[in-house]
Amino acid sequence: MGRHTCRVRQAGFLNDACRQLGERGAEMDQQVRVIKTEREYHAALARLSALMDQDIAAGSDDEAALDLLAVVIADYERTKVAPAVIDPIDAILLAMDQRGLSKKDLEPFIGSIPKVSEVLARKRPLSLSMIRKLHRALDIPADVLLSGSDNEDIDLSETPHYDYSKFPLAEMLDRGYFGKFAGGIKLAKAKAEELVRGFMHGVSPDGPEPALLRAPLQQSGARTMDEYALLVWRVAVLKKSRKIALTGKYKPGVITTDWLQELVRLSAFDSGPKLAQEYLAQSGIALVIEEHFKKTYLDGAAMLDGETPVVALTLRYDRVDNFWFALLHELVHVQKHLNASHLFIADNLDDKTRSNEEAERQADAGASEALIPTNEWEQSAVRTVPTAENALALARKLRIHPAIVAGRVRHETGNWRLLTNLKGEVRRYFE
């Protein structure tokens, strides 16, 4: 075996290549050495180029030298030379040249001729929709087209999990969900996939396509909510909940009748809603306020984020009584119904068909009992004589906000004009 092969072996490199050359027993006039410096690297490239220009006979020393040079050069490049970055636009131009395509031929993949021109001139970035089409039609490698983007982890061979055109993009844009994106709704629609993926990124530890959000959904009510709007709302809630400093860790069983009634007594304070958020945080429960989306008909929801319960309210009706009933309703869901099989329960409290569901009956009954115990309600004067004086008397006795009593009166009588001066607002506490 030649000395050069022994040296390569001793250096610990390329055992397979050395073994193949050793079997040939080739003796070369010039040694092929392991490359250690950039100067040696360029010299090796020059020698490789010269050998490649020759008419080399199979099995000759020159062929062996060529093979070994290629191996040691590749090893040096792998450890010392930064890999060349292939520009996506250059790759598209190359594919066009190889296939004899014009800008007109790219319209099905990119759009109008002006848009094609802007993309090829690097004045308009490739959208994920364009990338998917170009990858499939022109067979340009996915890693090349995705190079330098924020979506290099996407598998273009997979069908997208969502139809991104169905997301409430206009509302998301108005709420600032797309961060530093400065375009209008037209551009947002063109870049829907990357914008939505960016918004969802980090919500689940499983990556930018949140596995958590594909979990079983339990939704109360006959009126079907827009699943895409509900999904976005849920992501927004989870992102907000993770910014809340929980001062305690949630323990199953912490929610009891006494715990709920102690919570309700906070309603007597002017800042009761904010105090409620702090009270829940002490027990490891996050309370989030997030406005509902169109076509969600949503008052609130209970959900699990890992082991942390999250209660979210929309304040669709900005009234004290609605806040406390919806809050207690969702907390009963956390207490009785939220588990690995039901990670997310959404509620439209206006839907009369909810009473057909056992879980909803339990949540309604638990909330009502915690707010105003049945025995207290049946003995109260306001039940038969619904005046402000009687409402205030019961509220003082129970140490709760009078709006809660007024809300119970309106609900029981079905007369929503009664005690309208006892309502109060909540949204201002969370602005």
Q: What pLDDT digit, counting tens, does each position of 301-353 carry?
A: 999 999 999 999 999 999 999 999 999 999 999 999 998 888 899 888 887 77
pLDDT at 262 > cutoff 80: yes
pLDDT at 275 > cutoff 50: yes
Least confident among 40-44, 108-112, 147-151, 396-400:
147-151
Structure confidence at residue 387 (pLDDT): 95
Least confident among 18-27, 69-78, 155-164:
18-27
Q: Is-contact 9 15, C-beta < 8 A? A: yes
Average model confidence (pLDDT) for the chain? Answer: 84
Structure confidence at residue 286 (pLDDT): 98
d(CA 347, CA 333) in angstroms, rounded, equals: 10
Structure confidence at residue 144 (pLDDT): 87
pLDDT at 205 > cutoff 50: no
- What is the SS3 string spanning 29-86? CCCCCCCCCHHHHHHHHHHHHHHHCCCCCCCCHHHHHHHHHHHHHHHHHHHHCCCCCC
Share of the chain above pLDDT 90, in %: 52
Mean pLDDT of all residues in 228-251? 94
Structure confidence at residue 40 (pLDDT): 87
Structure confidence at residue 297 (pLDDT): 86
Mean pLDDT of all residues in 5-27? 36
- What is the SS3 string spanning the chain? CCHHHHHHHHCCCCHHHHHHHHHHCCCCCCCCCCCCCHHHHHHHHHHHHHHHCCCCCCCCHHHHHHHHHHHHHHHHHHHHCCCCCCCHHHHHHHHHHHHCCCHHHHHHHHCCHHHHHHHHCCCCCCCHHHHHHHHHHHCCCHHHHCCCCCCCCCCCCCCCCCCHHHCCHHHHHHCCCCCCCCCCHHHHHHCHHHHHHHHHCCCECCECCCHHHHCCEEECCCCCCCHHHHHHHHHHHHHHHCCCCCCCCCCCCCCCHHHHHHHHHHHHCCCHHHHHHHHHHHCCCEEEECCCCCCCCCCEEEEEECCEEEEEECCCCCCHHHHHHHHHHHHHHHHHCCECCECEEEECCCCHHHHHCHHHHHHHHHHHHHHCCHHHHHHCHHHCCCCHHHHHHHHHHHCCCHHHHHHHHHHHHCCCCCCCCCCCCCHHHHC
Structure confidence at residue 30 (pLDDT): 53
What the block records as the tokens of 54 is 């020759």
Structure confidence at residue 12 (pLDDT): 35
d(CA 50, CA 64) in angstroms, rounded, equals: 14
Q: Is-contact 367 336, C-beta < 8 A? A: no
Mean pLDDT of all residues in 390-410? 96
Least confident among 167-181, 182-196, 352-366, 367-381:
352-366
Confidence category of residue 291, pLDDT binned at 50, 70, 90: very high
Q: Which domains does the chain have, with CATH numbers?
A: 3-80 (no CATH), 88-145 (1.10.260.40), 164-200 (no CATH), 211-371 (no CATH)
Mean pLDDT of all residues in 212-228? 62
d(CA 107, CA 95) in angstroms, rounded, equals: 15
Structure confidence at residue 413 (pLDDT): 92
Share of the chain above pLDDT 70, in %: 86
Structure confidence at residue 220 (pLDDT): 61
Structure confidence at residue 221 (pLDDT): 57
